[in-house]
C-alpha cells in the first residue's frame, strides 16, 4: 500500500504492468521443487515426534541436495529460454524502455529464485519443529527489506531489474540469513553434510510430496493466470489497473489464510479418530470466516474502485466496472478454495484435487491462445479463471461430503487422541 502509488508513478502503466506480470510469473516457478519442501516438512515432523535426530539430519541433507540440483536445472533451462523467446511480442510491449528492460528483469528474477530454492529448506525445518513463528518473523523482516529496497529504487529511478531485485531480493536475503542462523547457530547438528545423504529418505520425501506438488502447481498456475492472460490479450499496460485491485484484495486473503492454514494438522487428527462433528463444526466456522474476510471485502473494494485507483496511481489508472466486478468474483472463489484446502489436505482428500487443479489451471490460460482481434473483453479473463477455480472448489466440496458420508455411523477411535488439544 505504501509503495504501490510511488511505483506506478515511477514506472508508468506499461512498465508497472510488466512488473506485475513478472511478479505473477513467480507463482509458476514456486512449484518447481516437486513437492520436496512439503515432503521434508512431513519427515521432520515425524522425526521430531519420535525424537529421531538422525532421521532429521538425513532428511535435511537429502532435501538440500535435491533442491540444489533442481535449482541448477531450472537456471540451465530458464536462462536460454529467456534469451531466445521474443518476450516483447508475447507481452505486447510498445515503449522502447520496457522492451529494453524486459530480459534483464527476467534474468534477475530467475537468478534470485534459483538462489532461494536450496536455502528454503530452513522454513520447512522450522515448521516441522513447530516453530512456524520463527519462519514468519524472518518473512516479516523480508517485508521490511522489500519496502526499503522498493523505496530506494523509486528514489533512484532505477530500471525494472532493480525493482525486481528489490521485490524478491529481500525474500532471498531473509531466507539465506535464516538458513545461516538455523544450521550454524541454533541447530548445527542439522547442517546438511554430504555424509548424511540417504537415497531411501530422499525417495520418501518425494513420495509424500507428490500429491501436494500437483495441487500446488495447479493453484500457482491459477493464481498467475489472470495477469498473464491479460498481458497476452491486451498488453502489459492492461495488467496495471487489475494488479492494483488484486494487491489490495490480497490483504483480507492473507488474514483468511492466517486463520485456516494452521487447521491442517488439526483436521488430520480429527479425521484419524473419526470426529466428524468437529470437522463439520470447524468447516462451518471457516465458511463464516470466508464470508467476513472474502466476500464482504471483495464486494466493498469493487464498489470503491475509483477512489482506490486515484489514490494508488495518482489518477493515471482507470479500472472498468466490469473488470472490477470480475476481479472481485475471482478473488471470492479463490478465498473459498483457500478455506477448503485445509480440510481437504488434512483429511487426505487430495487424490482428485491433485488431478483437477492442473487440468482447470490449463483451461484458465485459454485466453492466451485467442488473439485480441477477436474482441475478447478484458473482464472475461479473470471471470474465466473464476469459473475454473469454481470447478476445483466443487471437486473439494464433493470429496468433503463423501468423507462425511463415510464417517457417518462409524465408531469414533479415541485411542490415538493426543494429550494436547488439537
CB contact at 8 A, 6 and 44 = no
Give me the number of domains the chain comprises.
2
pLDDT at 80: 92
CB under 8 A, 24+ apart: contacts of 127-136: 127/41, 127/44, 128/40, 128/41, 128/42, 128/43, 128/44, 128/45, 128/47, 128/48, 129/44, 129/48, 130/48, 132/262, 134/178, 135/178
**Does residue 248 fall inside a structural domain?**
yes
What residue numbers bound the domain in which 312 lies? Answer: 209-412
* 200-209, 257-266, 370-379, 391-400: segment of lowest average pLDDT: 370-379
Q: Which of 138, 169, 197 is the last residue of a domain?
A: 197
pLDDT in tens, 16-49: 888 877 777 676 666 667 778 877 877 787 777 6
Q: What is the mean pLDDT of residues 97-106?
A: 87
Given 197, 223, 241, which residue is the final one in a domain? Answer: 197
- Tens digits of residue pLDDT in 273-330: 678 888 889 998 988 888 887 788 878 877 877 777 777 666 677 777 787 888 888 8
Query: CA-to-CA distance for 113 and 124, rounded, in angstroms?
Result: 17
pLDDT of residue 181: 93
Q: Are residues 229 and 366 in the same domain?
A: yes
Residues 214 and 125 in one domain: no
Distances (CA, A) of 133 to 128, 130, 138, 235, 408: 12, 8, 9, 40, 36
Among 240-249, 333-342, 388-397, the least confident range:
240-249
Give whole-number Cα distances, 154 to 3, 15, 203, in Å. Answer: 9, 13, 46
234 and 160 in a common domain: no
Question: Which triple of cell numbers denotes residue 260?
Answer: 485456516
- Say yes or no: 258 and 388 in one domain: yes
Provide the mean pLDDT of the chain.
81
Do 259 and 158 fall into the same domain?
no
Q: Which residues contact 368 (CB under 8 A, 6 or more apart)?
A: 228, 229, 232, 233
Confidence of residue 394 (pLDDT cuts 50, 70, 90): very high
Please give the model's pTM, rounded to 2 decimal places. Answer: 0.62
Amino acid at each position: 500500500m505504501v509503495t504501490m502509488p510511488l511505483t506506478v508513478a515511477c514506472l508508468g502503466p506499461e512498465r508497472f504492468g510488466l512488473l506485475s506480470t513478472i511478479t505473477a510469473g513467480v507463482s509458476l516457478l514456486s512449484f518447481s521443487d516437486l513437492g520436496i519442501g512439503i515432503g521434508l516438512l512431513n519427515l521432520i515432523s515425524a522425526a521430531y515426534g519420535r525424537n529421531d535426530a538422525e532421521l532429521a539430519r538425513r532428511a535435511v541433507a537429502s532435501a538440500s541436495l535435491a533442491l540444489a540440483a533442481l535449482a541448477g536445472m531450472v537456471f540451465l533451462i530458464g536462462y536460454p529460454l529467456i534469451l531466445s523467446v521474443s518476450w516483447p511480442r508475447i507481452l505486447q510491449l510498445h515503449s522502447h524502455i520496457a522492451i529494453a528492460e524486459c530480459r534483464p528483469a527476467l534474468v534477475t528474477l530467475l537468478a534470485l529464485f534459483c538462489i532461494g530454492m536450496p536455502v528454503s529448506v530452513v522454513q520447512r525445518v522450522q515448521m516441522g519443529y513447530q516453530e512456524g513463528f520463527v519462519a514468519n518473523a524472518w518473512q516479516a523482516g523480508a517485508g521490511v527489506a522489500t519496502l526499503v529496497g522498493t523505496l530506494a529504487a523509486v528514489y533512484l529511478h532505477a530500471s525494472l531489474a532493480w525493482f525486481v531485485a528489490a521485490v524478491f531480493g529481500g525474500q532471498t536475503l531473509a531466507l539465506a540469513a535464516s538458513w545461516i542462523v538455523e544450521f550454524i547457530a541454533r541447530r548445527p547438528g542439522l547442517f546438511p553434510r554430504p555424509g548424511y545423504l540417504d537415497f531411501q529418505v530422499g525417495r520418501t520425501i518425494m513420495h509424500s510430496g507428490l500429491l501436494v506438488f500437483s495441487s500446488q502447481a495447479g493453484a500457482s498456475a491459477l493464481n498467475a493466470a489472470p495477469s498473464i492472460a491479460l498481458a497476452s490479450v491486451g498488453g502489459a499496460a492492461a495488467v496495471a489497473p487489475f494488479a492494483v485491485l488484486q494487491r489490495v484484495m490480497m490483504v483480507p486473503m492473507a488474514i483468511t489464510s492466517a486463520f485456516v492454514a494452521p487447521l491442517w494438522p488439526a483436521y488430520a487428527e480429527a479425521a484419524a479418530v473419526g470426529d466428524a462433528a468437529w470437522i463439520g463444526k470447524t468447516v462451518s466456522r471457516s465458511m463464516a470466516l470466508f464470508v467476513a474476510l472474502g466476500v464482504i471485502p471483495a464486494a466493498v473494494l469493487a464498489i470503491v474502485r475509483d477512489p482506490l485507483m486515484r489514490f494508488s496511481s495518482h489518477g493515471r489508472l482507470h479500472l472498468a466496472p466490469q473488470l472490477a466486478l470480475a476481479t472481485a468474483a475471482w478473488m471470492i472463489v479463490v478465498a473459498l478454495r483457500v478455506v477448503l484446502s485445509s480440510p481437504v489436505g488434512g483429511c487426505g482428500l487430495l487424490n482428485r484435487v491433485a488431478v483437477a487443479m492442473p487440468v482447470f489451471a490449463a483451461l484458465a490460460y485459454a485466453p492466451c491462445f485467442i488473439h485480441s482481434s477477436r474482441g475478447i473483453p478484458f473482464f472475461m479473463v479473470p471471470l474465466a479463471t473464476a469459473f475454473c477455480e469454481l470447478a476445483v472448489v466443487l471437486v473439494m466440496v464433493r470429496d468433503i461430503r463423501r468423507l462425511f458420508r463415510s464417517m457417518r455411523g462409524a465408531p469414533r477411535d479415541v485411542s490415538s487422541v493426543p494429550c494436547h488439544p488439537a
